[in-house]
Amino acid sequence: MYTVFYLKKYSEEGIDITLFEKKNYLLYTPVLHEMATGTVNARHVVIPIREIINPRQIHIRCEEVDRVDLNRKAFETRSGIFTFDYLVLSQGSESNFYSIPGIRENCIPFKGIEDAIRLRNNLVSILEKGAIEEDSRKRKKLLTIIVAGGGCTGVEVVTEIAQFINLILDRDYPEIRRSEVRILLIEAMDKILPSFPRYLSNVATERLKRMGIEILLDSPIQWANEDSIGLKDGTEIPIGILVWAGGVKARDLSLKPEVKRDPSGRIMVNDHLEILGHPGIFAIGDGSHVSHNGDSLPPTASVAVQEARYVAKSLLLQIQEREIPPFQFHYRGDMASLGFMFGVTEVYGWHFKGFIAWILWKLFKLAMLPRYKTRFQIIADWLITLAFRRDTSKLT
């Protein structure tokens, strides 16, 4: 979407641009955790593509690309075969379950709007069932909520869940005591928010503990079934809900001939973001592996948008047969919201915590939204949840 946006912004007339997208909306993932717990309305995290991109200027085709033939410069969809001069692949990512037995079948991944709706319904379900369950063992299992993965997504989800539980339990479910609800964050590494500076990671750890979240570090999950999960040290923990935020891998997209990929299936590209050996065919976003200071860039929107902008400029330079500088990533910072009025933020090397960081998070997330209408809708949602009770109705 951003590549198309920048192409249109920088280009002269005469370039024929088509966007192939199997969904007809953009999902605004940074507020998905707030949707799952009823702060933000489900309709407000999706934006119709045709409202962001002018369909009179860009061809929009709501269909899935099945196979790409890199040598013939053609790809296939249900409606036929399309040829191109230049191609930008940005198929995104999906949850990576690392072949851990039982995880895929027994978890709620946290990637799409359907996952957030499922999480919300499951949260409400375990509370409804917990409120009437008299067997203490079953009740304990039901009321154990586990989030696996202590990166930004996992930490934001677990704090939102804890806040939701802390706010609604007393008023809406007086049958359940807070001490009966166990909320755990399980991380394979030795700290949460590993991409943040150690100081902010420690601030986040303290904050989560204060919210009543148990944190288990150095605890990779080894297996899962419908009743429990097993950790590396042999501990078995019963599960009411298991949310998987343990990492992503590239979304599958069939390429002919097959190209070099990293262990997460991401397409390897050169420093112009072109697929190795295929000039004029770019791969960007979560589905591509871009080296930076000896490591690969993380799967975040800020990386994807910088890559999109570069590719749009670079493509136009290629058409004009001008020299193209290599892609350079500019790290601007990282931010995470940790429940009501608290966050941790790193902006251009400056560290913030607490209320200021939370406000910066809110302002930045609003600024990144590509539509004014959605900005107002989300601000209204935030204000409404400040003034009124959280909604505990199921969505289906």
Ligand X SMILES: Cc1cc2nc3c(=O)[nH]c(=O)nc-3n(C[C@H](O)[C@H](O)[C@H](O)COP(=O)(O)OP(=O)(O)OC[C@H]3O[C@@H](n4cnc5c(N)ncnc54)[C@H](O)[C@@H]3O)c2cc1C
Shortest spacing between CB 30 and ligand X, in angstroms: 3
Q: How far apart are CA 383 and CA 391, in angstroms?
A: 14
Q: Which residues share a beta bridge with 80?
A: 77
| CB closer to ligand X out of 65 and 87 | 65
Shortest spacing between CB 303 and ligand X, in angstroms: 7
| CB closer to ligand X out of 49 and 216 | 49
- Asked if residues 231 and 216 have their Cβ atoms less than 8 Å apart, the reply is yes
| CB closer to ligand X out of 90 and 374 | 90
What kind and span of H or E run contains 356?
helix 355-368
| CB closer to ligand X out of 157 and 176 | 157
User: CB burial class (10 A; 0-12, 13-18, 19+) of residue 9?
Assistant: exposed
CA angle 33/209/345 to nearest 5° reads 55
Shortest spacing between CB 368 and ligand X, in angstroms: 8
What kind and span of H or E run contains 78?
none
Query: Any long-range contacts for 326-335 (C-beta under 8 Å, 24+ apart)?
Result: 326/271, 326/272, 327/271, 327/272, 327/273, 327/290, 329/290, 329/292, 329/297, 329/303, 330/306, 332/302, 334/152, 334/193, 334/195, 334/196, 335/360, 335/361, 335/364
Instruction: State the sign of the Cα–Cα–Cα–Cα dihedral 168, 107, 94, 265.
Output: positive
Provide the token pair at 348.
């251009």
Shortest spacing between CB 141 and ligand X, in angstroms: 26
- Asked if residues 40 and 34 have their Cβ atoms less than 8 Å apart, the reply is yes
334 φ/ψ angles, rounded to the nearest 5 degrees = -150, 150
Write the CB contacts of 227 (distance below 8 Å, at least 6 apart in sequence): 141, 238, 239
Q: How far apart are CA 185 and CA 243, in angstroms?
A: 10
Shortest spacing between CB 379 and ligand X, in angstroms: 17
Residue nearest to ligand X (CB): 285
- Asked if residues 76 and 59 have their Cβ atoms less than 8 Å apart, the reply is no
Shortest spacing between CB 112 and ligand X, in angstroms: 8
| CB closer to ligand X out of 251 and 351 | 251
Query: Helix (H, G, I), strand (E, B), or coil: what is residue 115?
Result: helix
Shortest spacing between CB 277 and ligand X, in angstroms: 21
Q: How far apart are CA 6 and CA 18, in angstroms?
A: 13
Shortest spacing between CB 287 and ligand X, in angstroms: 6
| CB closer to ligand X out of 64 and 172 | 64
| CB closer to ligand X out of 94 and 172 | 94
Distances from the Cα of 120 to the Cα of 18, 39, 150, 170, 392, angstroms: 36, 11, 20, 18, 9
Shortest spacing between CB 22 and ligand X, in angstroms: 4
Binding footprint of ligand X on the chain (CB under 6 A): 20-23, 29-30, 32, 64-65, 90-92, 110-111, 153, 251, 253, 285-287, 299-302, 304
Shortest spacing between CB 304 and ligand X, in angstroms: 4
